[in-house]
Amino acid sequence: MKLLALGLLTTLLAQAAATPPTRSPARVMTVHGASWLERESREAEQRPSEVIRAMGLKDGDLVADLGCGTGWFARRMARAVAPRGKVYAVDIQPEMLDLLRGYVAAEAVSGVEAVLGTETDPRLPPGSLDWILMVDVYHEFQKPEAMLEAIRRSLKPTGKVALIEYRLEGDTALHILTEHRMSVEQVLAEWSPAGFRLMRQLDFLPTQHFLVLEPGR
């Protein structure tokens, strides 16, 4: 009996270790936190040039910055896909999009289209996108299943997603609240059932995961 109980306990512990911790969506950052998105240290922390190079963006690509906020990444991607490409800058807060338009105008960036999305639909043209970039935003999606379905619909057959999230594992992102961090296991637990597969995991960012995902063929 003792051996049976010990074996059952071992099995339960192994199952628990293999199961990603349950996750509740974090609260959406409001426009009052917009200054965090334009902080001076962000260049060194998030290395946008390296991110864009890893994505292989080129003139003519159609891309989206989903959960764009003030458009910090959208503006940089627009320069990479110019002059024939376009960046759809998507946010669910009109106030963020107003800030985005101000930055785009001030920097004279072309090829950025602001899109007011919803919690379930980014309102992107179907079957058209080469890349969708999401930086520190997926963990805030309140209805992730519907959004993942909409993301899949918007991609070209060869389209990909670049997902960047602060690491839950280890100690590199302890300065970030737990609910604003994700593990690779948590990501795949939600993206794999939605029909996506992990193509690459890049580790050059100091505090964040950089995952490249694509719809299963």
Per-residue pLDDT of 93-109, as tens digits, reads 999 999 999 999 999 99
**pLDDT beyond 90 at 20:** no
pLDDT value, residue 120:
95
Q: Name the nearest CA neighbour of 62 among 117, 115, 3.
A: 115
The CATH number that applies at residue 147 is 3.40.50.150
**pLDDT beyond 80 at 18:** no
**pLDDT beyond 90 at 3:** no
Percent of the chain with pLDDT over 70: 89
Mean of per-residue pLDDT scores for the chain? 90
Helix (H/G/I), strand (E/B), else coil: 166? strand
Q: How far apart are CA 147 and CA 120, in angstroms?
A: 5
In a domain, residue 95? The reply is yes
**pLDDT beyond 90 at 10:** no
In a domain, residue 40? The reply is no
Planar angle of CA 192, 92, 20, nearest 5 degrees? 30
In a domain, residue 24? The reply is no
Q: How far apart are CA 216 and CA 170, in angstroms?
A: 30
| Average pLDDT score over residue span 107-134 | 97
In a domain, residue 15? The reply is no
Which residues lie across from 110 on neighbouring strands?
none
In a domain, residue 22? The reply is no
Q: Are 70 and 103 in contact (CB under 8 A)?
A: yes
SS3 content of the chain, % helix, strand, coil (to 5): 40, 25, 35
In a domain, residue 41? The reply is no
Q: Are 189 and 18 in contact (CB under 8 A)?
A: no
**pLDDT beyond 70 at 65:** yes
Domain containing 210 equals 46-215
| Average pLDDT score over residue span 118-135 | 97
Burial 24-42 (b: 16+ CB within 10 A, else e): eebeebebeebeebeeeee
| Average pLDDT score over residue span 178-189 | 95
In a domain, residue 197? The reply is yes
**Dihedral over alpha carbons 119, 163, 107, 89 (to 10 degrees):** -30
Q: How many domains does the chain have?
A: 1
Q: Name the nearest CA neighbour of 74 among 35, 95, 94, 101.
A: 101
- Neighbour count for residue 203 (Cβ, 10 Å): 9
In a domain, residue 32? The reply is no
pLDDT value, residue 37:
92
| Average pLDDT score over residue span 116-144 | 96
| Average pLDDT score over residue span 63-73 | 97
